[in-house]
């Protein structure tokens, strides 16, 4: 199937939000009319037999309609507020347990390793992981408002019954939802469905109450009132099922195509179609229903497979049929999987026959080329395979914007090599709050002398978690020097689950401490700017805020583009003349530079750069690719990417909410 790019999928997700609102309004209108019809028959005698359309405009009709709309709105608002906690709140709602980053359970470690590989390879912070211990079905979902605070929830059945290849296919499918902006839409849909279902819940309550009180009052004069309450409750309960029907229709309308796209993305990311196909095949055999939570139907549109049993599956299912999904991945795949099941081939051989088998333990993340190892060490480190060899540098074949929101072979190789080179002690420290905090400090002082390090750390106030901890720093600093400054961002992404566990006051304190260390020498390097911006973006008070679209053309952001591209052109050029030429080439896509009236800016302050990136993040998703490509042109015009250029590119991508793989050319 044709596979749209990251920015097209982002724009589609925003259009889906508008569709969701339209469907919600339609459902509310129909439910309101249905309840008003019940009210019409109940109060008809009091209204002198008015026709329904006249009654609807009477005081009785308007009051009934207003009450219904208010109840539905209140139900949605209460759930919306309840889910303001983001992905972690959704995980707790279904009874999921957070996975200890240092877990000793082999299945949980398998899951964590796959997720960490995928996160580092795609350039997004590692999601928090949760497991539904009581669920034996095979299923998973991601939840959250932004990629920086996403959580991934996996059932116990998924991590125990799926092979590594199959679990990797499921994880890649869920990462696609993170990239595409589906998570935010899914959480909002839960809230809207809660309001639609409110009328049915009220009807059920009235029905139960009437029967309970009816048994107690017997034949008293209140019997008629109880009977009327029961009839009204029954009517509302039936109307509630109409709400359920519309709710499921809305789920299906916004979910089915996204699931097919996520399946295709999984194949694209892992290059192993039999991984996700095998997982789907096992769901078809063993099921993926969530049986231990009352929210299974609410979560149906979010999950990898159907989470709730329902009638009229062909019409109301949030996912296409399993057979259709498998054959869409690769024609004839379903027949091959069924044949292998009949032949009872060993599980180790079951999902390898369509291509060369990966090396043991790699599961689709094939071995890195030796030349990728070199670029991750030393001040002159390059994060590109072009760093090695003596051949003349060549221009990259792919545009930078094509790599956003994707995982490629080079980034996968990089992730595997990076994780394998991390000392065990260093990696385990990143899983703790104190260790993750000290990593932020260590990255800022690692190149200083011992005396300067001690002097800088005295600027930090004492604190059990945020204060300087020399014992931990002694373990982190040597490892940072060994693995090189070119992998500082991947290490920071690995530490994000622990940093997200900081209290709001501790997060603010960490950002303040980092700013103190940065300001100590009265200058700000590009990495220091990137680090402070990264922490503010993902740990600040507005970390989970979705940036709205403010600009639908480049004209309002031309000053921001001039500042950003001036800085990148000067960073990627050895001379002023080269910088001028490179700047004009980069700006040519946004304005006429032939008359030379817009020279490259001599100075761009850090504050101006922050303001420029904030403005550019307000662009429509379909306008961002040109900005990313212009930045990429500046740093790759000579066929190589220096560490400072890479870190500047990562800063731009992160602040514009564009997940960028670590190896870009």
CA 606 to mean position of chain CA atoms: 28
3 state DSSP class of 160: helix
**Is residue 232 within 8 Å of residue 38, measured between CB atoms?**
yes
CA dist., res. 645 & res. 651, Å (int): 10
**What is the CB neighbour count within 10 angstroms for residue 281?**
25
Q: What is d(CA 326, CA 274) in angstroms, rounded to the nearest whole number?
A: 9
Pairing state between β 128-132 and 151-155: parallel
| Residue 505 to residue 486: CA distance in whole angstroms | 31
Strand (E) or helix (H) holding 463: none
The first and second tokens of residue 574, run together, are 């050895």
First-residue to last-residue Cα distance in the chain = 26
**174 given a catalytic annotation:** yes
From CA 399, how far away is CA 409, in angstroms rounded? 16
The residue ranges of DSSP E strands in 67-200, in sequence order, are: 97-98, 128-132, 140-143, 151-155
What span, in angstroms and rounded, lies between the C-alpha atoms of 119 and 157?
23
CA dist 266 and 329 (Å) reads 9
Q: How far is the C-alpha of 544 from the C-alpha of 499, rounded, in Å?
A: 14
Active-site residue among 116, 117, 149, 174? 174
Q: Return contacts of 328-333, CB within 8 angstroms, 24+ apart.
A: 328/1, 328/260, 328/263, 328/264, 329/263, 329/264, 329/267, 329/273, 329/276, 329/277, 329/280, 330/267, 330/273, 330/277, 330/354, 333/273, 333/274, 333/277
Cα distance between residue 142 and residue 301, in whole Å: 11
In whole angstroms, what is the distance from residue 79 CA to residue 529 CA? 38
Judge contact between 226 and 217, C-beta under 8 A: yes
Residues marked active site are found at 174
């Amino acid at each position: 199937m044709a596979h749209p790019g990251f920015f097209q999928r982002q724009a589609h997700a925003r259009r889906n939000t508008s569709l969701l609102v339209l469907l919600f309004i339609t459902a509310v209108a129909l439910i309101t009319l249905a309840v008003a019809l019940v009210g019409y028959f109940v109060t008809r005698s009091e209204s002198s037999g008015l026709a329904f359309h006249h009654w609807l405009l009477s005081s009785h009709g308007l009051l009934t309609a207003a009450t219904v709309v208010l109840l539905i709105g209140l139900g949605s608002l209460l759930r919306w507020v309840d889910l303001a906690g983001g992905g972690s709140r959704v995980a707790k709602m279904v009874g999921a347990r957070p996975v200890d980053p240092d877990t000793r359970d082999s299945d949980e470690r398998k899951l964590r390793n796959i997720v960490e590989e995928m996160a580092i390879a795609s350039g997004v912070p590692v999601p928090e992981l949760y497991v539904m211990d009581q669920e034996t079905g095979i299923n998973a979902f991601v939840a959250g408002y932004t990629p920086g605070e996403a959580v991934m929830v996996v059932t116990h059945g998924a991590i125990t019954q799926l092979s590594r290849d199959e679990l990797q296919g499921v994880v890649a499918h869920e990462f696609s939802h993170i990239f595409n902006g589906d998570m935010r839409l899914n959480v909002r849909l839960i809230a809207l469905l809660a309001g639609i279902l409110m009328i049915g819940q009220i009807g059920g309550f009235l029905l139960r109450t009437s029967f309970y009180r009816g048994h107690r009052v017997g034949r008293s004069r209140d019997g008629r009132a109880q009977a009327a309450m029961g009839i009204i409750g029954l009517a509302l309960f039936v109307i509630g099922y109409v709400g359920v029907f519309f709710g499921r229709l809305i789920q299906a309308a916004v979910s089915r195509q996204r699931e097919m796209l996520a399946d295709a993305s999984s194949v694209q990311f892992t290059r192993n179609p039999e991984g996700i196909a095998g997982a789907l095949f096992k769901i078809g055999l063993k099921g993926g229903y969530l049986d231990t939570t009352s929210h299974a139907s609410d979560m149906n549109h979010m999950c990898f497979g159907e989470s709730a049993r329902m009638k009229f599956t062909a019409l109301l299912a949030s996912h296409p049929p399993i057979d259709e999904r498998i054959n869409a991945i690769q024609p004839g795949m379903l027949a091959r999987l069924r044949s292998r099941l009949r032949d009872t081939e060993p599980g180790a051989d079951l999902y390898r026959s369509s291509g060369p088998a990966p090396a043991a333990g790699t599961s689709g993340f094939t071995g890195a080329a030796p030349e990728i190892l070199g670029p991750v060490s030393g001040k002159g480190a390059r994060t590109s395979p072009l760093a090695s060899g003596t051949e003349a540098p060549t221009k990259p074949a792919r545009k930078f914007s094509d790599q956003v929101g994707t995982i490629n072979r080079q980034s996968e190789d990089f992730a595997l090599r990076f994780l394998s080179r991390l000392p065990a002690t260093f990696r385990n420290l990143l899983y703790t709050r104190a260790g993750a905090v000290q990593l932020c400090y260590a990255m800022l002082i690692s190149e200083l002398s011992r005396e300067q390090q001690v002097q800088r750390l005295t600027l930090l106030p004492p604190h059990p978690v945020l204060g300087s901890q020399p014992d931990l720093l002694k373990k982190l600093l040597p490892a940072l020097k060994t693995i090189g400054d070119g992998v500082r961002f991947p290490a920071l992404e690995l530490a994000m689950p622990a940093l997200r566990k900081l209290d709001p006051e501790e997060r603010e304190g960490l950002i303040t401490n980092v700013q103190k260390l940065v300001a100590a020498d009265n200058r700000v390097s590009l990495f220091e700017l990137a680090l402070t911006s990264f922490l503010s973006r993902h740990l600040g008070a507005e970390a989970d805020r979705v940036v709205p679209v403010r600009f639908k053309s480049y004209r309002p952001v031309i000053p921001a583009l001039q500042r950003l591209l001036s800085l990148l052109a000067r960073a990627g050029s050895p001379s002023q003349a080269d910088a001028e030429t490179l700047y004009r080439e980069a700006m040519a896509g946004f304005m006429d530079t032939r008359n030379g009236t817009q020279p490259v800016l001599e100075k761009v302050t850090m504050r101006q750069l922050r303001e420029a990136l904030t403005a550019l993040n307000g662009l429509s998703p379909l306008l961002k690719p040109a900005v990313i490509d212009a930045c990429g042109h500046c740093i790759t015009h000579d066929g190589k990417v220096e560490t400072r250029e890479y870190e500047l590119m990562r800063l731009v991508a992160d602040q514009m909410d564009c997940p960028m793989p670590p190896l870009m050319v």
